[in-house]
Amino acid sequence: MSNSVLKKKENYTPTTNACKLCTPLGASLVFKGISNAVPLLHGSQGCSTYIRRYVISHFKEPVDIASTNFSEETAIFGGGVNLNLALDNLRKQYNPEMIGIATTCLSETIGDDVAMFLKSYREQRIDQRLPEIIHVSTPSYRGTHMDGFHGAVQAVVEGLSNKDFDARSGHQLNIFPSMVSPADIRHLKDILKAFGISYAMLPDYSDRLDGALWSEYQTIQKGGTDISEIKNMKKARASVEFGKILEGGRSSGGKYLKDTFGVPCYSLGLPIGVRETDAFFKVLENLTGISTPDRFVSQRERLIDSFVDGHKYVSGIRAVVYGEEDLVVGMVSLLREIGIIPVLCASGGKSGLMEKTIETIVPEYQPLGISIRENVDFMDIEKQAADFSPDIFIGNSKGYTLSRRIGKPLVRIGFPVHDRIGGSRIRHLGYEGAQELFDRIVNTLIEKGQEKSEIGYTYI
Amino acid sequence: MSTIHILKERERQIYQKGNQPFDMVCEKVSVAGSVSQRACVFCGSRVVLYPISDALHLVHGPIGCAAYTWDIRGALSSGPELHRLSFSTDLTETDVIYGGETKLYQALTQLIDIHHPKAAFVYSTCIVGLIGDDVTSVCKKVEKEKGIPVFPVHSEGFKGTKKDGYKAACDALFKLIGKGAIDDISPCSINILGEFNIGGEAWIIRDYYERMGIQVVSIMTGDGRVEEIGKSHGAKLNVVQCSGSMTHLAKAMQEKYNIPFIRVSYFGIEDMAQALYDVASHFKEKPEIMEKTRELVRKEVSDIYPMLQKYKADLKGKKAAIYVGGAFKAFSLIKALKHLGMTTVLAGSQTGDKDDYEVLRQMCDDGAVIVDDANPLELSKYLIEKDADLLIGGVKERPIGYKLGVGFCDHNHERKTPLAGFVGMLNFAKEVHATVTSPVWQFTPRRDNSG
């Protein structure tokens, strides 16, 4: 090291209390959403253990993520031997239909050629029935957990689309819901069922990460998208992919199917709030030629009715919204429908698209004084939040400390929810999701007012 | 449940007490492809140093390692709370190519200017070891410029096991020791090592020793302060809990400063009392210490005894499984469970050695399973086979117990309740009682006879 080496990097500040997680976490969640699949992190033991602990604390479910357990020798001589051994051992212990490999920063940095390892692994076992083995590159120095998530979806679609000919005809719809809660996934499935649409959804961890108790140990939790369904995605009539940031930015499963197999892809925002949900239902109506079933029409009507009942509690309220970029964008859409000003929209992601995307939803964001910040940590959020005198925080559990310090309540959404029970059951999507979010936001504000009042009103 | 497959490589890391000869294999790296409950070198270092609350803890690497260790432990501080923040150099792709020293230097200097810590620890993560950053030189440079000690912690995840991480942390601590003045230290003084103040445990233990007339010079590292640790070489005895993590430091201090050490545990009545008596015996030139100790133990035990008996009445005959990080904790837990009338049907640890497992074997009844570096499948297999009513472990073990309808007690660093000391024994009993006697189990598949 010399002084000349330590040339100052402009605009660099270290990260304090990150508002993002690392790429392999996102990939692991996707693999959890595939039937009989096991995630395997190719790298150090700690990556898998830390991610398991983090994910378990939110979902309150067993989350088995295997590791190739690098040692110093592995780092020097390459991870080929460990990967082979890990695949053999995983097959013995779990007998999976698919192994999803995510490469950590360690194996990426030493330059492990996983594709080549897998080729020779398969060649050496030509007489054995092997599970599908999908590899996604997820060095944690490139992007956030959302990149790991979308990257894994795409890797799975790509890896399985080119497999064996399947005589079945395709489904009406592929749906890529993004990183939403198990309750959201169940709600989406409910909607699709009501429309009578045949579909394949990727991922679907609604059972595997929010399941029932067991009478005996399940090596792999039941549930998840069938591998044969994923293989068949290329024949679907259309795909729906949620995420406006995803749409404008990186490659994706939906885009791949469109470019390679000509499957039309509807890129929509996460259906949070009335308008984004309307857009989703519109696509479903167009695809099926039937109108939205009465249940959902009624849900929408009740939602609007409640908007009117509760509007005065939220009108002009100032919110700090943080989390994954697409979640923030979705929430901004709902918040503007009910008159809340999302004074600070913040994310640890850095697509470069957040401001532009939010502008399409709130063209008047500048006169409203809305600040849109990418690539921030909770330290930045706290510093900025103080200037905006917010009334409420909306985001995951990790903002609790600052909401407490600033003395304004936090409405917990997204991931992780580590300080409450029921993170899996939080609904964000559809009219019902909007209903739940609206009720929680309004009631949180009422409760805060009630607590502050000296009178102790029982009638608000 | 014969469907759960024990890997051949793992067979000798599991022992069932009975007639077969005891020849357990342990202290091995985890088998590739198994879902070990262990973590990595970095984790070991982070655990040990984390509670030092007036130091800056900077994780040098991409974001994951810092994000997953942000404020996850229940280690309390009576003053500064710098340890609860998560600092990362947050390396990106270009840093991996061109090196991360510049960012490290900038991060350190900026953070020191903002937070004014008393010292800084820089944790190297996996890729730092690969891209060849000269962390030590950057630390030295910053130390000189900012006038506080800045220690590199060589904790690259793949360079060994969690134990190597403990060692790296001890090495960093050792460099801190000897920096402070020791003239105000009593001849009856100790350091408490391997006590991390989870839920305020270090305060409970410190209070006991002080009531005995012993001066506690430093606690490593619960509610730890740089200055206190700096003068810990003035203490006359090191009292080591969590021996796996701290014996290395105790030995180094013995060698350099001639401070003897004893191993203790603060969990359960016997071990807690023994920890106090052992210290009192060490200072036998002052017999009043032993007298005060006897009085203290008598009072504390009689305070909790009636409630313990109440819990015991409900818990008698229930079966427990223990899976913890270090085997020493398992010894205490087996004894504590006996006090509550419970038997241990499975005992295991992530990092025990052969002697530890021999002790476990002796302590457990016939048929009990002893396991090293277990994975979820193995734990499940034996929870079911042994029909356990309780699992003691950490967050990663909890859902395994719950899914199978088995009660759970968190005995890891994430918990917020103190389980050490006499009052901790009562908390432990209360928690075990709450989970084991809960009516919810009647609806679980395992106990539900209605269908």
- Tell me the pLDDT tens digit for each residue of B302-320: 999 999 999 999 999 999 9
Examine residue A139 and state whether it is found in any structural domain, yes or no: yes
Examine residue A264 and state whether it is found in any structural domain, yes or no: yes
Q: What HEC string does chain B produce?
A: CCCCCCCHHHHHHEEECCCCCCCCCCCCCCCCCCCCCCCCHHHHHHHHHCCECCEEEEEECCHHHHHCCCCCCCECCCCCCHHHCCEECCCCHHHHHHCCHHHHHHHHHHHHHHHCCCEEEEEECHHHHHHCCCHHHHHHHHHHHHCCCEEEECCCCCCCCHHHHHHHHHHHHHHHCCCCCCCCCCCCEEEEEEECCECCHHHHHHHHHHHCCCEEEEEEECCECHHHHHCHHHCCEEEECCHHHHHHHHHHHHHHHCCCEEECCCCCHHHHHHHHHHHHHHCCCCHHHHHHHHHHHHHHHHHHHHHHHHHHHHHCCCEEEEEECCHHHHHHHHHHHHHCCCEEEEEEECCCCHHHHHHHHHHCCCCCEEEECCCHHHHHHHHHHCCCCEEEECCCCHHHHHHCCCEEEECCCCCCCCCCHHHHHHHHHHHHHHHHCCHHHHHCCCCCCCC
B246, B61, B51: which is closest to B163 by C-alpha? B246
Contact B36 A69 (CB under 8 A): yes
A264 and A305 in one domain?
no
Which of A288, A305, A333 lies at the terminal end of a domain, its last residue?
A: A288
Check residue A329 and report its DSSP letter. H
Examine residue A119 and state whether it is found in any structural domain, yes or no: yes
Residues from chain A that touch B41, judged by Cβ atoms under 8 A, are 46
Cα separation of B218 and B236, whole Å?
12
Q: Cis (ω within 30 of 0) for the bond into B221?
A: yes
Residue B49 has pLDDT above 70, yes or no: yes
Contact B33 A88 (CB under 8 A): yes
Check residue A232 and report its DSSP letter. G
Q: Hey, of B90, B140, B379, which one would you mutate to test binding to chain A, going by the most A CBs within 10 A of its CB?
A: B90
pLDDT value at position A50? 95
Give A303-311 contacts, CB < 8 A, sequence gap 24+: A303/A274, A303/A431, A303/A434, A303/A435, A303/A438, A304/A274, A306/A435, A306/A438, A306/A439, A307/A337, A307/A338, A307/A438, A310/A338, A310/A438, A310/A439, A310/A442, A311/A338, A311/A339
Calculate ∠ Cα B163-B363-B161, nearest 5°: 10
Q: Give the residue numbers spanning the domain of A384.
A: 294-452
A204 and A138 in one domain?
no
This model of the complex carries an ipTM of 0.95
Q: What distances in angstroms separate CA A216 from CA A206, B6, B165, one per listed residue?
A: 20, 16, 36
pLDDT value at position B195? 95
Contact A47 B40 (CB under 8 A): yes
Does residue B263 sit at the A interface (CB-CB below 8 Å)? no
Tokens 């994954």 sit at which residue? A324
Residues from chain A that touch B69, judged by Cβ atoms under 8 A, are 50
Does residue B5 sit at the A interface (CB-CB below 8 Å)? yes
B51 pLDDT band, cuts 50/70/90, is: very high
A447 and A300 in one domain?
yes
Yes or no: say if A352 and A244 are a contact pair by the CB < 8 Å rule: no
| Segment B361-397, tens digit of pLDDT | 999 988 999 999 888 889 999 999 999 999 999 888 9
pLDDT value at position B107? 98
Count of alpha carbons within 13 angstroms of residue A295, beta-carbon side = 9
A328 and A277 in one domain?
no
pLDDT value at position A2? 47
pLDDT value at position A38? 97
Does residue A102 sit at the B interface (CB-CB below 8 Å)? no
pLDDT value at position A218? 85
Of all residues in chain B, the percent with pLDDT exceeding 70 is 99
CATH code for position A199: 3.40.50.1980
Q: Hey, of B10, B13, B35, which one would you mutate to test binding to chain A, going by the most A CBs within 10 A of its CB?
A: B35
| Segment B178-200, tens digit of pLDDT | 999 999 999 999 999 999 999 99
pLDDT value at position A64? 93
Put simply, the chain A residues between 11 and 40 with a CB less than 8 A from any chain B CB are 12-18, 20-22, 24-25, 40
Does residue B404 sit at the A interface (CB-CB below 8 Å)? yes
* Other beta carbons within 10 Å of B353: 15
A447 and A302 in one domain?
yes
Cα separation of B203 and B222, whole Å?
9
Examine residue A16 and state whether it is found in any structural domain, yes or no: no
A383 and A324 in one domain?
yes
Check residue A365 and report its DSSP letter. T
Q: What distances in angstroms separate CA A325 from CA A247, A352, B369, one per listed residue?
A: 12, 10, 48
H or E element, residue A136: strand A132-137
Residue B1 has pLDDT above 60, yes or no: no
Q: Cis (ω within 30 of 0) for the bond into B51?
A: no
pLDDT value at position B154? 95
| Pairing of the two strands B87-88 and B14-16 | unpaired
Q: Taking CB atoms and an 8 Å cut-off, how many pairs form between chains A and B?
A: 253
Residues from chain B that touch A65, judged by Cβ atoms under 8 A, are 35
At A157, the amino acid letter reads V
Examine residue A12 and state whether it is found in any structural domain, yes or no: no
A267 and A306 in one domain?
no
Task: Locate B359 and state its tokens.
Answer: 């002790």
Out of B7, B35, B42, closest to residue A92 by CB: B7
Does residue B10 sit at the A interface (CB-CB below 8 Å)? no
A185 and A92 in one domain?
no
pLDDT value at position A165? 61
Examine residue A320 and state whether it is found in any structural domain, yes or no: yes
pLDDT value at position B351? 81
A336 and A419 in one domain?
yes
Q: Count up the domains in chain A and report the number.
A: 3
**Exposure string (b/e) for A151-165, b if CB count within 10 Å is 16 or more?**
bbbbbbbbbbbeeee
Cα separation of B91 and B334, whole Å?
44
Examine residue A97 and state whether it is found in any structural domain, yes or no: yes
Examine residue A458 and state whether it is found in any structural domain, yes or no: no
H or E element, residue A403: helix A400-406
| Segment B17-28, tens digit of pLDDT | 886 778 888 877
Q: How far apart are the first and last CA of chain A?
A: 66
pLDDT value at position A19? 98
B58 pLDDT band, cuts 50/70/90, is: very high
| Mean per-residue pLDDT of chain B | 93
A314 and A410 in one domain?
yes
Answer positive or negative: Cα dihedral of B94, B99, B100, B106. negative
Q: Which residues, 6 or more positions from B184, have their beta carbon under 8 angstroms from its beta carbon?
A: none
pLDDT value at position B403? 94
Does residue B291 sit at the A interface (CB-CB below 8 Å)? no
A402 and A343 in one domain?
yes
Cα separation of A213 and A333, whole Å?
37
B3 pLDDT band, cuts 50/70/90, is: low
pLDDT value at position A7? 64
Residue B262 has pLDDT above 50, yes or no: yes
Domains, chain B, in order of start with CATH, read 41-176 (3.40.50.1980), 189-297 (3.40.50.1980), 316-415 (3.40.50.1980)
| Pairing of the two strands B369-372 and B14-16 | antiparallel
Does residue A6 sit at the B interface (CB-CB below 8 Å)? yes
Residue B65 has pLDDT above 90, yes or no: yes
Check residue A233 and report its DSSP letter. G
Closest chain A residue by Cα to residue B402: A213
**Exposure string (b/e) for A41-76, b if CB count within 10 Å is 16 or more?**
bbbbbbbbbbbbbbbbbbbbbbbbbbbbbbbeebbe
pLDDT value at position A86? 96
Cα separation of A348 and A345, whole Å?
11
Yes or no: say if B67 and B409 are a contact pair by the CB < 8 Å rule: no
Taking only the tens of pLDDT, chain A with its 460 residues reads: 544 455 667 789 999 999 999 999 999 999 999 999 999 999 999 999 999 999 999 999 999 999 999 999 999 999 999 999 999 999 999 999 999 999 999 999 999 999 999 999 999 999 999 999 999 999 999 999 999 999 999 999 999 997 666 667 889 999 999 999 999 999 999 999 999 999 999 999 999 999 999 988 888 999 999 999 999 999 999 999 999 999 998 899 999 999 999 999 999 999 999 999 999 999 999 999 999 999 999 999 999 999 999 999 999 999 999 999 999 999 999 999 999 999 999 999 999 999 999 999 999 999 999 999 999 999 999 999 989 999 999 999 999 999 999 999 999 999 999 999 999 999 999 999 999 999 999 999 999 999 999 988 888 8
A370 and A313 in one domain?
yes
A403, A428, A404, A431: which is closest to A414 by C-alpha? A428
3-state secondary structure at position A171: coil
Which residues pair with residue B261 across a beta bridge?
A: B238
Which of A261, A288, A315 lies at the terminal end of a domain, its last residue?
A: A288
Residue B161's Cβ-count burial label (10 Å; 0-12, 13-18, 19+) is: buried
Contact B33 A141 (CB under 8 A): no
